[in-house]
A and B are shown apart, each in its own frame.
Chain A
C-alpha cells in the first residue's frame, strides 16, 4: 500500500467514524425525545376519549337514566377500545369502588388502584401493565363514579421498539451511504489524482516515459505535476531529436560507418530498456469510481418499492376474471423479473453499440418515468405497464453498468471491478427496501414511488455529467442465441444442475422476499417498514456471509456440499412460519434464507464451468455463463408465480412450508446427482491421466 493510499484509507476511516458517531448520538437523542413525548401524547388521547364517553353518559343521565340502568354500556366501551389500538382497558367504578362496567383484560392490582380513586382527576399512572387515567364522571358527581382508561404498556413499548428499529435501520443505511459518499469524494479528490501521479512517477522510475499528464491533474496537483510533465516531455523530446539526428546521419553516410552501427544498437537497447511516447495513464480505477454514486442511486431508487409493491398492488387491485387474486398481486413482480431475465441477453450488444454511458442514461431515465408513473397509477393495468418499464430499466442499467465495469476494469482489476459492481447492488439492497418501507409507512406508497423517481433523476443527471462518453467501442460479447441455449440444454448434467440447484434457489428467494414476506406483514400485525427491515436483514447477511462462503468453498470438492447445504438451509427456512408463529418465525426465516443463499451462490456459479466444459470450448465461457444466468433468472419469474398459486389455495403458513419442502427435496437430489457427476469428472480425469 502506497503512502497516499494509506492516507486515503485513514482519511476515510476518520470521516466514517465521525459520521457514524454523530449519527448514533443524534439517533439516541431522537429516540429519548420521542419517548418523552409519547407518554403525554397517550395521556392526552386517553383524556379525550374519556371526556367524550362522559359526555355521552351525561346525555343519557339528562334523560333520567342512571349509570346502573344504562343499556349497552359495554358495547360502547368495546367499540371505543376497538377503535383505539392502544387502549387495553376501560372501566367504570362507583363510589364503593365497585366495578359497574369493564372491557379489556382485567389485571391484578387494579382493585387496589380503584380503591384509591376519588378526589378528582389523576395524572396517568402505570398500574399492572396499563397507563391508567381516571376521570370523575362529573354528570353524576354526587355519586362519585369514575371512568378509568388504560393504555397498554405493551403498546407503548411496541411503539418505542418500532422506532428503535427504524433508527437502527437509518443508522445502518447511513453507514453505507457514508461509505458511498467517501468513495464519491475520494474518486474526484486531489488525493486520488495524487495517487495517480505517484503511479506516473513510479512508472518513470521503471523507465516508462510513455504518457501525458492530463490538464485535470495539473489543475489539482499543480506545480509538481507540471514539473514532472516538463521533465517527461524533455526526456521524450531528447529521444525524439536523437532519433531524428540518427536518421539524418544514417541517410547521409548510408550506414557505412562502424560507430554509427554502435549508435544504432545503443538506440535499440535504449528502446528495450525504456518506453517513450504520449500514451494515456491507465485510470480504470478512477473511471470505476465515477460510476459508483450514480449506479448506487439508480439501484437504490429501484429497491425502494421492494418491501411494499405487493401491498401497493393490493390497493389498486382490479379483479381479473381468469386469474386468482393473489396471482394478480404478484403480477407486477412476475413481469418485472421476466423482463429483467429476457432483457439481459438481448441488451448486451445494444448497450455496446450506443455506448455504455448512453445506455445507462436511457435505462435510468426509463426507470424515472416508470416510478413517477407508478406513483400516479390509476389501476392495476397501468401499474403493470409501468412496472414492466421498471423491469426494462433495471435490465438496461444492470447490463450497461456491468459492461462499463468490464471495459474499464481489465486484467487483475477485473475481479476487483466485479466485486465493486456486486457490492453496489448489495448495498442498495440493504438500504433501499428498508428506507422505502419506513417511507411508505410514513408518507404512503405513492409518495415513496415518487421519491424513487426523483432519486433516479439525480442518478441520470450524474451519469450525463460525470461518466466518460465511450461510444463506438467494439462489441466484446456476441448476444446469446437460441441455438446456444438449445445446445446447452442437451447437456443433461447441466439441466439437472439447473433444475435442482440454480432455479429452486431463485424461486424460494424471490417468492419469499419480494412476494410472500411483504404480503404476510399485515397478517401478523406488522407493516411495510418491517418488511423493509427484513429484506435489509437478508441483504446484510449476504454482505457478511458471501465473501466468507466464497473463501471456504474455494476447494472444488467442497462446492457441492456448500450448494446442497445452502438449499437445505433455505428450504428449512420455509418451515419456520408454521413452527414459530408471529414475527419471530419470519425473522428466523429471513436469517436462514440469507445464510442458505450466501452459502450456495459462489460455489454454484463455480460449478458451471466444470459441468459445461465441452460447451465452453465450443461457445466460449461468456455465452455459457450468459445462458446460465438467463435460466437462473427465469427462476426469479417462477418464484412469485409458484408462491401466488399456492397462497391462493393454502394460505401463508402452508405456502412457506410447501416451497420450503420443495427446496429441501431439491437440496437432497442436488447432492445425490452431483455425487455422480463429480465421480464422472474424476473418472474422466483419471482416464485422461492414464
Chain B
C-alpha cells in the first residue's frame, strides 16, 4: 500500500508539476462538456491493456466527459483501413492509436500520401521510437496533427539500472536481424558500449530459406553469449523475440545468465525474466490522457505538444528467479525496486 502511494507520487512528478496541480484542482466543467462529451476513437493492436485503463482513469479523475469508441485490430493490419473509413464517417474529436503498427496504419509515416487521418487530432501511445519509425521528425514538435507518448526508458538509464543490480563488463543480446526496430536498438547499444567502455556480444536468430527467423538453436546461441563473458542478457524491443520469450529466458536461466527486460509486458509475462526497468503501462496511459486533455480541453495544437516518455521508471525484480539463479539483488536496491 505504502509503496503504491510513493509510486503515485512519482507519477505526478512524471506527468509534470502543472498536470499534478491540475489533478488536485477541482475539475473544470465547461458548458459544452455538459452538453456533449468528447468522442475519442481508440484503436488498439491486440485488445485492451493497462494503458487504456490508465487513460480512462485520468479522464475520469479530471471529470472530463468522454465517449469512447473502442476498436481492436486483432493484430491484423487490414482492419486499420476499415477503421480509417469509419473515422472519416463519424468524425470523432480525437483519435487514439496504440503501438507503432496501429499508429503508422492510421496516420501514416511523415510525408506519406494516401487516405490517412490528417484532419482529426491524434495521440499515439506505446510507440518505442517515434523518430525511428519515421512518424515525426523530432520529439519537440511533430509538425503534424499528432503527438504522443513513448514507453521506453532511455537506454543509458536502463544500463545504469542493470549495473546497480550487477556490475558488468559485457552484455549479450539476441535479436532478429530482419527487424528494423531491433537493428535500430542494437545500433544504439553498440554506440553506448564504445562510449561507456563495455563489450556487446551479439547473436541473431537463425533464418530459414525465406529469410524468416526461426526458433532453432536458441539455447546454443544463449550459451555462446554466456561463454563469451556476458553478465546480462538484454531483452530489447524485438517482435520475434517476444514470441520466443519463454524459450529464450529458460535457456538463459539454464546457463545462469541474468535477463533484463525493458517493457512491462515482458517482465509481467510468465517467462522467468530476472529484472527490468519499465514504464508502467497504466502510467503511460495516464500520461497519454494528459496529452489528450491538452488538445481537447486546452485547445492546443498537437504539433505544439512535445512527444515525451515518462521520467520515472519502475525497477522490477522477480525475486523467485533471483533466488533460483542465486543472484540476489544488492541490499541498496530494496530501497526503490519493486518485487514480483
**Interface: A72 (CB within 8 A):** yes
B335 within 8 A of A: yes
A345 CA / B296 CA spacing, docked (Å): 75
Smallest beta-carbon distance A565→chain B, Å: 59
| Alpha-carbon distance A70/B328, docked complex (angstroms) | 7
Alpha-carbon separation in the docked complex, A70 to B334 (Å): 11
Q: Mark B309-338, 1 if CB is under 8 A from A, else 0.
A: 000000000010001000011111011000
Kindly list chain A residues whose C-beta atoms are within 8 Å of the C-beta of B328: 65, 69-71
Give the docked Cα–Cα distance between A87 and B328 (Å). 28
Q: B339: CB under 8 A from chain A? A: yes
A65 to chain B: which residues have CB within 8 Å?
Answer: 328
Q: Please, which residues of chain A bring their CB within 8 A of the CB of B331?
A: 56-57, 60, 70-73, 75-76
In Å, the complex CA distance between A624 and B227 comes to 86
- The reply to whether A71 and B329 form a contact with Cβ atoms under 8 Å apart is yes
B319 touches A64 (CB 8 A): yes
| A64 contact set on B, CB distance < 8 A | 319, 323
Q: How many residues of B contact A (CB 8 A)?
A: 10
Q: A59 at the A/B interface (Cβ < 8 Å)?
A: yes
Residues of chain A with a CB closer than 8 A to B323's CB? 64
Bound together, the chains give a CA A109 to CA B332 distance in angstroms of 30
A321 proximal to B (CB < 8 A): no
Residues of B contacting A686 in the complex (Cβ-Cβ under 8 angstroms): none
Q: Tell me, yes or no, whether A63 is within 8 Å of chain B by CB.
A: yes
Chain A residues near B339 (CB-CB < 8 A) = 63
Partner of B334, one of A60, A69, A75: A60
Q: In whole angstroms, how far apart are the Cα atoms of A383 and B339 in the complex?
A: 53
A79 partner residues in chain B, CB cutoff 8 A? 332
Question: How many residue pairs between the two chains, A and B, have CB atoms under 8 Å in the bound complex?
Answer: 32
Q: Taking the nearest CB of chain B, how far is it from the CB of A321, in angstroms? A: 27
Question: Which residues of B lie under 8 Å from residue A60 when comparing CB positions?
Answer: 331, 334
Q: How far is the CA of A60 from the CA of B332 in the complex (A)?
A: 9
Q: Quick check: B319 and A76 within 8 Å, CB to CB?
A: no
The A27-78 residues at the B interface (CB cut-off 8 A) are 56-57, 59-60, 63-65, 69-73, 75-76
Name the CB-closest residue of A to B166.
A71
Contacts of B332 in A (CB 8 A): 72, 75-76, 79
In the complex where A56-B335, A63-B339 touch, is A75 in contact with B330 (Cβ < 8 A)?
Answer: yes
Report the Cα distance A55→B323, complex, angstroms: 21
Chain A residue with Cβ nearest B317: A63
Task: Name the residue in A60, A69, A70, A79 with the highest tally of chain B Cβ atoms < 10 Å from its Cβ.
Answer: A60
Residue of A nearest to B335 (CB): A56
A73 contacts across to B, CB distance below 8 A: 331
Distance between A76 CB and nearest chain B CB, rounded to angstroms = 5
Give the interface centre of B323, B330, B331 by most chain A CB atoms within 10 Å: B331
A59–B330 CB distance below 8 A: no
Chain B residues with CB below 8 A from A75, complex form: 330-332
A57 to B333, CA, bound (A): 11
- Taking CB as reference atom, which chain A residue is nearest B339? A63
Q: How far is the CB of A71 from chain B (nearest CB, A)?
A: 5
A59, B329: Cβ atoms closer than 8 Å: no
CA–CA, A69 to B331, complex, Å? 10
Q: Which residue of B lies closest to A70 (CB)?
A: B331
Residues of A with C-beta under 8 A to B334: 56, 59-60, 63
Residue of A nearest to B333 (CB): A72
Measured between alpha carbons, how far is A73 from B332 in the docked complex, in Å?
Answer: 8
Smallest beta-carbon distance A379→chain B, Å: 29
CA distance A149 to B334 in the complex (A): 21
Q: Mark B61-99, 1 if CB is under 8 A from A, else 0.
A: 000000000000000000000000000000000000000
Q: Is the CB of A72 within 8 A of B319?
A: no
Tell me the bound Cα distance from A474 to B329 in angstroms: 86
In the complex formed, the residue of B with least CB distance to A101 is B331
Chain B residue with minimal CB distance to A52?
B335
Residues in chain B near residue A71, CB distance under 8 A: 328-331
Residue pair A72, B335 in contact (C-beta under 8 Å): no
**Residue among B323, B328, B332, B334 facing the most chain A CB atoms (10 A cut-off):** B334
In the bound complex, CA of A72 to CA of B333 (Å): 9
Complex Cα–Cα for A63 and B319 (A): 7
- Which A residues lie within 8 Å of B335 (CB)? 56, 59
Instruction: For residue A18, give the distance in angstroms from its CB to the closest CB of chain B.
Output: 58
Q: Give chain B nearest CB distance to A346 CB in angstroms.
A: 56
Q: Mark B180-211, 1 if CB is under 8 A from A, else 0.
A: 00000000000000000000000000000000
In angstroms, Cα B335 to Cα A285, docked, is: 73
A71 to B331, CA, bound (A): 6
A76 to B334, CA, bound (A): 11
Measured CA separation A76–B333 after assembly (Å): 10
Q: How far is the CA of A617 from the CA of B335 in the complex (A)?
A: 84
B-side contacts of A76, CB under 8 Å: 330-332
Smallest CB-CB separation from B164: which chain A residue? Answer: A72
Shortest Cβ gap from A83 to chain B (Å) = 13
**Beta-carbon nearest neighbor of B326 in chain A:** A69
Docked pose: A71 CA to B332 CA in angstroms: 9
Q: Whole-angstrom distance from the CB of A51 to the nearest CB of chain B?
A: 14
Query: Chain B residues near A57 (CB, 8 Å)?
Result: 331
In whole angstroms, how far apart are the Cα atoms of A57 and B331 in the complex?
7
Closest CB in chain B relative to A376 CB, distance in Å: 28
Q: Which of B255-306 contact A (CB under 8 A)?
A: none
Tell me how far the C-beta of A676 lies from the nearest C-beta in chain B, rounded to whole angstroms.
Answer: 66
Residues of chain A contacted by B330 (CB below 8 angstroms): 71-72, 75-76
Assembly CA distance A65 to B328 (angstroms): 8
The chain B residue sitting closest to A57, CB to CB, is: B331
CA distance A64 to B330 in the complex (A): 14
Q: What CA separation (Å) do A56 and B329 show in the bound complex?
A: 13
Q: Contacts of A63 on B, CB cut-off 8 Å?
A: 319, 334, 339
Q: Chain B's nearest CB lies how many Å from the CB of A132?
A: 22
CA distance A57 to B329 in the complex (A): 12
How distant is B328 from chain A, measured CB to nearest CB, in Å?
A: 5
Interchain nearest-CB distance for A12 vs B (Å): 63
Instruction: Return chain B residues, CB-CB under 8 Å to A70.
Output: 328, 331
Most interface-central of A57, A59, A63, A70 (chain B CB within 10 A): A63
Complex: A73 Cα to B330 Cα, angstroms: 7
A65 CA to B329 CA, complexed, in Å: 10
A270 to B88: give the CA distance in the assembly, Å. Answer: 129
Q: Give complex CA distance A565, B281 in Å.
A: 80
C-alpha gap A71/B328 in the complex (Å): 6
- For the complex, what is the distance from the CA of A72 to the CA of B334, rounded to whole Å? 11
Distance (Å) between the CB of A55 and the closest chain B CB?
9
Chain A 277-321 residues near chain B, CB threshold 8 A: none
Bound complex: CA A64 to CA B323 (Å): 9
The distance in angstroms between the C-alpha atoms of A79 and B331, with both chains bound, is 12
- Closest residue on chain A to residue B329 by CB atoms: A71
CA distance in complex: A60, B330 (Å): 9
Complex Cα gap A672–B331 (Å): 71
CA–CA, A89 and B335, complex, Å: 22
**Smallest CB–CB gap between B23 and chain A, Å?**
29
Min C-beta distance of B4 to chain A, whole Å:
15
Alpha-carbon distance A79/B334, docked complex (angstroms): 15
Q: How long is the Cα–Cα vector from A59 to B339 in the complex, in angstroms? A: 10
* Smallest CB separation, B323 vs chain A (Å): 7
- Binary contact readout B45-65 vs A (1 if CB under 8 angstroms, 0 otherwise): 000000000000000000000
CA distance in complex: A71, B323 (Å): 12
A24 and B296 CA atoms in complex are apart in Å by 73
Nearest neighbor of A53 in chain B, beta-carbon distance: B331
Inter-chain CA distance A275–B177, complex, in Å, is: 119
CA distance A76 to B331 in the complex (A): 7
Across the interface, which residues of A come within 8 angstroms of B329, CB to CB? 71
22 contacts between A and B (CB under 8 A): A56-B331, A56-B334, A56-B335, A57-B331, A59-B334, A59-B335, A60-B334, A63-B319, A63-B334, A64-B319, A64-B323, A65-B328, A69-B328, A70-B331, A71-B328, A71-B329, A72-B332, A73-B331, A75-B331, A76-B330, A76-B332, A79-B332
Additional pairs, 11, CB under 8 Å, beyond known A76-B330, A76-B332 = A56-B334, A57-B331, A60-B334, A63-B339, A71-B330, A71-B331, A72-B330, A73-B331, A75-B332, A76-B331, A79-B332
Q: Which 6 pairs, one residue from A and one from B, show the smallest C-beta to C-beta distance?
A: A72-B330, A59-B334, A60-B334, A71-B330, A76-B331, A71-B328
